[in-house]
Amino acid sequence: MTARLLIVGPQGSGKGTQGARIAASYGIPVVSTGDIFRDNIKNGTELGRKVQAITDAGDLVPDEVTSEIVRDRLSQGDAEGFLLDGYPRNTAQVAHLDEYLAGRGDELDAVILLEVPREESITRITQRAAEQGRSDDTEEAVAKRLSIYESETAPIIDLYEPRGIVDRIDGVGELDEITERIMSALAARGLATVAA
């Protein structure tokens, strides 16, 4: 059985790091809209230039653009199973994803919600910006993105909760501890990892 997962959490919650670990354990690709956008920016593509202007203003990329990119990625041969990171980020995108997955006879197996206090997120992002020299991680942009997460992304949990697929994970602590919490929750759902 192939795992179809979504990892959700505020910026700085460790989604990227944990997502990579989970995906490796399950032998599935991480489909990260942020990574796709950053690759396009780095390579100077038309999409990259468009995204750069939007993110520099502290705004989020429009739903249609994001959904199209994700559908394209999920239609590739290696994405029968996947771990989504950064999508869906609002209720409209949940509808886009549901429709796409239903069209191929699939649905999400689990939604991993990394719960991290706002102050912790800001501290982690500010630290990451200094280490990686990321221009999109100014304190104002971070605060704006966290507010958008709280108003737009957090409500998607209300759509997934009634489906019984949300695992709330304490996202504070040592990396390995957090990974263990996630893996235990997924194992409890009967999702088997690939043999190492």
Three-state helix/strand/coil letters over the chain = CCCEEEEECCCCCCHHHHHHHHHHHHCCCEEEHHHHHHHHHHCCCHHHHHHHHHHHCCCCCCHHHHHHHHHHHHCCCCCCCEEEECCCCCHHHHHHHHHHHHHCCCCCCEEEEEECCHHHHHHHHHHHHHHHCCCCCCHHHHHHHHHHHHHHHCCHHHHHHHHCCEEEEECCCCHHHHHHHHHHHHHHCCCCCCCC
Active-site residue (options: 21, 73, 124, 145): 145
Active-site residue (options: 4, 21, 73, 89): 89
The answer to whether residue 142 sits within a structural domain is yes
Predicted local distance difference test score (pLDDT) of residue 158: 95
Predicted local distance difference test score (pLDDT) of residue 1: 62
Low-confidence ranges of the chain (pLDDT < 50): 196
The answer to whether residue 87 sits within a structural domain is yes
The answer to whether residue 173 sits within a structural domain is yes
The answer to whether residue 196 sits within a structural domain is no
Q: Quick check: pTM over 0.75?
A: yes
The answer to whether residue 170 sits within a structural domain is yes
Domain coverage including residue 94: 4-188
Predicted local distance difference test score (pLDDT) of residue 195: 60
Give yes or no: 181 in active site: no
> Which CATH number covers residue 140?
3.40.50.300
The answer to whether residue 193 sits within a structural domain is no
Predicted local distance difference test score (pLDDT) of residue 11: 86
Give yes or no: 89 in active site: yes
| Number of domains within the chain | 1
The answer to whether residue 194 sits within a structural domain is no
Active-site residue (options: 128, 144, 168, 189): 128
Give yes or no: 15 in active site: yes
Active-site residue (options: 42, 49, 104, 134): 134
Q: Which percentage of the chain shows pLDDT scores above 90? A: 61
The answer to whether residue 149 sits within a structural domain is yes
